[in-house]
Structure 1
């Protein structure tokens, strides 16, 4: 029972952080830019892979597209269905999508490729479900270049790199362009946007970084506690700063 409670707590914390991040004006503009790069024709079918709580699916549906949200996490899909009961959501793996060959005109994946077991297989599947001329858009952060203001830069550097090393593909976002080209997509472009966070809502992200670094043996328990205390004080004093490079890549089938 304790493990189940912890899992629910982790999901709830993640959803709160996602909500805080996604409701920021800069995040809304970045999502809008990703929709623009899809170049969807009227009444197009678009699939959002790793849709999470499905904010993007709902926004795409408002653009008169047939938007399909796909995710493997039942807790995320449950939250999505409670928020947007009328959208099309499906449980599926990124490498085995519930779409026919060439069924989609657009494919979007936001902050998901860094955790996929086999990103090239997912891109091959994306190419399968896209019609000729269809567009793919990938959006994600580079975990190894997260910028965190701190009075302890050396310790912060160790924490950031140690946390990145716990991610299956921490630097995949910087490779989006080449991955798309290697899979046969053309007209491939990449943009880099910076997500900036200054609110205390993002403190759980920093606690997670410190915890992961301690568990990996990169820092001691005392160092983790000291660093989290500093970041907590910064949040209380409105001096917190996190900047995350976001890579936005798009290509044509």
Structure 2
């Protein structure tokens, strides 16, 4: 799920948390589908932008691509180097990639564009570094469409939207197709894969939504407490239900 990692105080804890999340069947299948859409040729340079701790870079390398991971966060890159020694990892901004014009045959950005200050600049940069015929794949969630089962639907709706409003570009995933078309890409295709979460380990994610809504003033302390209490009871009784639509958009340069 597309959350920031600032809550983790050390790399070992972060690595364990990411390892758990990355190895869920849904997450692994979503990554695999993104690689299929990317169509990396053996030995072809492929850049994974916002690579985080390197899982996709490692998997693309295993598939024979000359995979390059790019991220601005030193902690993410340190974790990636610890997890997967020998990867080609570079510190750089999505709008200023350390690649020459037309160098890459593939470009992938997974749960990245919603946090960028200027997504259009990053997309223009993707077009610069891609060779003609190169493939681009964008993966992301629409933060307004998270579905959480609750006995308090109006309050839940308010919480979801308030959390979305704390994200720089919460609805950009639904715009991926048009952004790619506007940037001059062709053969644009879009898929939606819904991630389902029912385990109690999901509770911190959804209670974090309530805390964000409370901080913004969208809900009161009492409402936050009541909603978190309900979700906590659901978790204890194995009755959590969270659904997150994930959008994959792919196109050709």
Contact 1:20 1:201 in 2 (8 A): no
Deviation of 1:221 after TM superposition, in Å, equals 0.9
Alpha carbons 1:192, 1:245 under 8 Å: kept: yes
2:33 aligned partner: 33
How far apart, in 1, do the equivalents of 2:120 and 2:8 lie?
A: 31
Q: Secondary structure at the match of 1:9?
A: coil
- 1:239 — aligned with what? 239
1:128-143 residue pairs with structure 2 within 5 A? 128-143=128-143
Kindly state the Cα deviation for residue 20 of structure 1 after the two structures are TM-superposed.
Answer: 3.2
Deviation at 1:238, TM superposition (A): 1.0
How far apart are 1:32 and its partner, in Å?
0.6
Unaligned runs of 5+ in 2: 1-5
1:50 — aligned with what? Answer: 50
Alpha-carbon separation, structure 2, partners of 1:170 and 1:242: 18
Report the count of equivalent residues: 248
Aligned 8 A contact 2:11 2:79 in 1: no
Alpha-carbon contact 2:139-2:247 (below 8 Å) kept: yes
Distance 1:13 1:251 in 2: 36
What SS is found at the alignment partner of 1:108? Answer: strand
- Structure 2 residue aligned with 1:20: 20
1:157–1:224 distance in 2 versus 1, CA, 3 Å: same
Give 1:19 deviation, angstroms: 3.5
- What is the aligned partner in structure 2 of residue 3 from structure 1? none
Matched, 1:79 2:83: no
* 2:105–2:134 CA contact under 8 A, matched in 1: yes
Q: Hey, what's the Cα distance between the residues in 2 that align with 1:171 and 1:15? A: 28
Q: Which runs of 5+ in 1 are unaligned?
A: 1-5
Contact 1:136–1:251, Cα closer than 8 Å, also in 2:
yes
The change in CA–CA distance for 1:162 and 1:10 in structure 2 (over 3 A counts) is farther
* 2: CA distance, partners of 1:12 / 1:82: 9
1:77 offset after TM fit, Å?
1.3
Instruction: Determine helix, strand or coil for the equivalent of 1:48.
Output: strand
Q: Residue deviations 1:79-98, cap 9 Å, x none?
A: 11111011111111000000
Q: CA RMSD in A?
A: 1.7
Moved more, 160-169 or 8-17: 8-17
Name the structure 1 match of 2:3: none
TM superposition score normalised by structure 1: 0.94
Q: CA 1:171–1:194 in structure 2 vs 1: closer, same or farther (change >3 Å)?
A: same
Residue by residue over 1:42-74, the C-alpha shift from the partner in whole angstroms, topping out at 9 and shown as x without a partner, is 211100001111111110010111101111111
Note the C-alpha offset of 1:174.
0.4
Aligned pair in 2 of structure 1 residues 17, 213: CA closer, same or farther (>3 Å)?
farther
Q: Deviations over 1:168-208 (max 9, x none)?
A: 00000000000000001001010011011111222221121
